[in-house]
A and B are shown apart, each in its own frame.
Chain A
């Protein structure tokens, strides 16, 4: 493609080119990079320390933060980068969880998941479960997105919520898989070679998943697809008058977003050894949105910062008072009023697109 040739190929033509002032974002690079590396470094280091001092509780807490962050990374792709305010991402988180739960249930019982039109056995292999969780969540998002993305604004929020609630009530009333009591996973699903039942190993698995999800988001947003998604968010009419339909671009982003959140759901079910309709409830959709907003909408590290803050407050303030959400509300208020770009915007400075 000739038109993909970089403008910089002809840079030597203009003498002023290299003297052009550096983009504003570069001045923040060090600070931003430092904040991001510190965040990742602490998240990786503290569980290792906790593990070797026998504090398994804190290792699992770190796993929880990591998984919630990953789910929020998925939602951030839809809300932050795509401008699609989905209020139903719990559907994918829960579906991912149920894939892990149901698969383990059948593997444990040695019963097939389905027999017609072909036989599908249960599996306790995490790789199979993760793949299935992502595929199924992607398919579900394809169906929900194909309908929901015909609407915008408040209607989009409501229709995504409605779909998620349908799935919630369905899971609630399906006795085979526990109904509202949920479904236990007696033995954590396994991986070849490594021992997934070890707390630190499982944390590292989750951490790898988070890094991958963030890397995929970053790559995606640097591609032509990502730029088109940004354009669709900023002004879809302008994008359409240039010959690109915003609809399929949004739909693809929505599907990828759901698959990431679904994978997080599968990891979450295995972390807790339990899956229940709570994972599907609209409360969780709301929590994910709060996390994305706390951390910084449309920032790569925003969901991670938001998840750290949210889970920490839930754990430590929640231990002090059951009214901890009052303080969460105050923090959220503070962020919305005084730190428009979230915790990351506050700590690391503004991004080039803010």
Chain B
């Protein structure tokens, strides 16, 4: 479905990615892991054309998307939940969900069953929501575009444990429904049971790729330990 091969990305003169390889197949949940500053978010930005990769290929459903503008990439069927609960603060919950919606399986009703809290707050400005609710809204907004591949960048970072559990519950539900997902997160205990595959980045390159079961303590200490 998504095949990222040997991409290199620069921020101005400084190179951030030195050859990232990543693959997500239909119905799969892939976790992208690595310590801070290893290139996870840059990889996501490259996939979405926000910082264009200068080398390598990014194929989505056999279409080369590396050089497409962001809105075309999103239209092709990728949905992004960006890092740090990015909603539109001055629009209501309902407007946030509806404006970028595209027809498909995900409707307001379905998002309301996934996150009943959003339903309760539908008329409120997004900025009046709690952090966790804003994160739910960001996920809901991405789902409303009916993406074939959902990309979650640090969806549970900086949230209260109770809210994290609720987000993870939603992610597990998405997995059960066969939603292809690329997941960036640090909580191994949550990722390992649900991920089909893990890809680990180190200093801007893919250094490990495999089933979660194969992710033994040696690999963990080497690439994920603090």
Contact = CB atoms under 8 A, between A and B. Distances in A.
Interface of A: 1-10, 13-14, 16-17, 20, 23-24, 224, 227-228, 230-231, 234-235, 237-246, 352-353
B100 A239 contact: yes
Contact of A227 (B95, B106, B142): B95
Given A10-B108, A23-B123, 19 more contacts: A2-B107, A3-B106, A5-B109, A7-B112, A14-B116, A23-B124, A224-B99, A227-B99, A231-B91, A231-B100, A238-B82, A241-B48, A241-B82, A242-B100, A245-B72, A246-B71, A352-B90, A353-B90, A353-B91
29 contacts: A3-B102, A3-B106, A3-B144, A6-B108, A8-B122, A10-B108, A10-B119, A14-B116, A17-B119, A23-B124, A224-B99, A227-B91, A230-B88, A231-B88, A231-B99, A234-B89, A238-B88, A239-B71, A239-B100, A241-B74, A242-B79, A242-B141, A243-B74, A243-B75, A243-B102, A244-B74, A245-B72, A352-B90, A352-B125
Interface in B46-75: 48, 50, 69-75
B216 interface: no
Contact of A7 (B70, B88, B100, B119): B119
B126 to A, nearest CB: 10
Nearest to A7: B122
Contact of B100 (A20, A230, A244): A244
| Nearest 3 pairs of A and B residues by beta carbon | A242-B100, A243-B74, A240-B70
B217 to A, nearest CB: 37
B44 to A, nearest CB: 10
B120 interface: yes
B112 to A, nearest CB: 6
Given A240-B69, A353-B90, A3 B103 contact: yes
Contacts of A238: 82, 86, 88
Contacts of A23: 123-125
B101 interface: yes
Interface string B119-154: 111111100100000000000011011000000000
Given A234-B88, A235-B86, A240 B103 contact: no
Given A240-B70, A243-B74, A243-B75, A10 B109 contact: yes
Nearest to B80: A241
B88 to A, nearest CB: 5
B163 interface: no
A241 B147 CA distance: 11
Contacts of B86: 235, 238
Contacts of B50: 237, 241
B98 interface: yes
B121 A20 contact: yes
Contacts, number: 112
A151 to B, nearest CB: 16
A242 B108 contact: no
B121 A243 contact: no
B120 A17 contact: yes
Interface of B: 48, 50, 69-75, 79-80, 82, 86, 88-91, 93-95, 97-104, 106-109, 112, 116, 119-125, 128, 141-142, 144-145
B120 A235 contact: no
B79 to A, nearest CB: 8
Contacts of A231: 88, 91, 99-100
A243 to B, nearest CB: 4
B91 A242 contact: no
Contact of B74 (A10, A24, A227, A242): A242
Contacts of A13: 112, 119
A9 to B, nearest CB: 8
A96 to B, nearest CB: 32
Contact of A5 (B73, B95, B102, B107): B107
A25 to B, nearest CB: 9
B69 A242 contact: no
Contacts of A1: 103
A67 B222 CA distance: 71
A306 to B, nearest CB: 22
B82 A240 contact: no
B98 A224 contact: yes
Given A3-B107, A5-B107, A230-B91, A243 B100 contact: yes
A245 B108 contact: no
Contacts of A228: 99-100
B70 A241 contact: yes
Contacts of B98: 3-4, 224, 227
A237 B80 CA distance: 11
Contacts of B80: 241-242
A245 B100 CA distance: 10
B120 A14 contact: yes
A232 to B, nearest CB: 10
Contacts of B97: 7
A3 B97 CA distance: 9
A9 B192 CA distance: 39
Nearest to A238: B86
A230 B71 contact: no
